Amino acid sequence: MKELQQIIRRVIENPTERWALATLVQTEGSTYRKPGARCLIDSDGATLGVLSGGCLEEEIAQHGRVVVANGSPIVLSFDTRRFYGCDGRLKILVEPIRAAEKGGNLITRIRDLLEQRDVCRVRISVEGERLGSELLGRDALVVDQSGVLIDTIPLPIRLLLFGDGPEIEPLIRQAENLGWIIEHVPNPSEFREDFRPDTHTAALVMNHHFGRDLVALDRLLSLQLRYVGLLGPQKRRTELLMRLSEYRSGDFATLVKDLFAPAGLDIGSETPEEIALAIVSEVAAVLANRCGGSLRDRKIEIHASGFCNADDEAA
């Protein structure tokens, strides 16, 4: 996501420039990136983003310069088994992107949808007469078709930080480095009533104040976020949940099933920077449907989706 955000920023900052956008559409075997990865190319052949481990970018950039100049999209195919020492095949669409000042372009429209935290689906055609990418409407029907990739661009992770302790600064620094959106709420009373949650929103409660933590948890748990973290020892978590259960009706166990307390992966954290690393890693794992274990223990391919424990992977 950060790479796409950098591409968006480059296009916005240079509204009179024309570009070429290279999109990885199909892969086979072992490849460095997955379909949907993008690389921006300017008229001089400079690139932003990577589609391989570095072995293809120079050739892609050369084709990109031609696309910028003549405005005609092309499809590139690479067999990395023959010349590059890898074991895969790739198909890449390189298409022209007009200057943003002329009513916007594909990149600015993607930016608009992501900022609105709206569904963003791109139909990418690499066969037939109409090569290129187009945005699909929210309710557009999608039919499987040869030579077409439907790329659903995930929303950037949005991290709600409740509190103002020593962990805040390293958390913000690490999260922003990943391209996450940060919303800092020093006091839970300042949390806006019209907040709209989504599947890419996580929250962390770290007020270091029992009453404020209680108010923040009461509000956040009702939003049914996939991740709500609470800083502090298990004893404090137990006390907070006991108090909450006194006036929360319904299935309380279901309400707290996505509460991670104490927050963070078990990596032996002590300092604020280490605590931030443990928490950011746990948030990333949970939202990716992973459990944060060592890759050497994974039973299926690294990039395969889902599965949080070894038993599920072996099933």
pLDDT tens, 25-44? Answer: 988 877 778 899 999 999 99
The one-character DSSP state at 188 is G
CATH superfamily of 158-287: NAD(P)-binding Rossmann-like Domain (3.40.50.720)
pLDDT tens-digit series, residues 179-218: 999 999 999 999 999 999 999 999 999 988 999 999 999 9
Cα separation, 178 vs 268, in Å, equals 22
pLDDT at 85: 55
Residue 255 has pLDDT above 80, yes or no: no
Phi then psi for 148, rounded to 5 degrees? -130, 130
pLDDT at 315: 38
Question: Per-domain residue ranges for the chain?
Answer: 2-118, 158-287
Strand stretches in the chain, DSSP E: 19-30, 38-41, 47-48, 74-79, 87-97, 121-125, 132-136, 148-152, 158-162, 181-185, 201-205, 227-230, 259-260
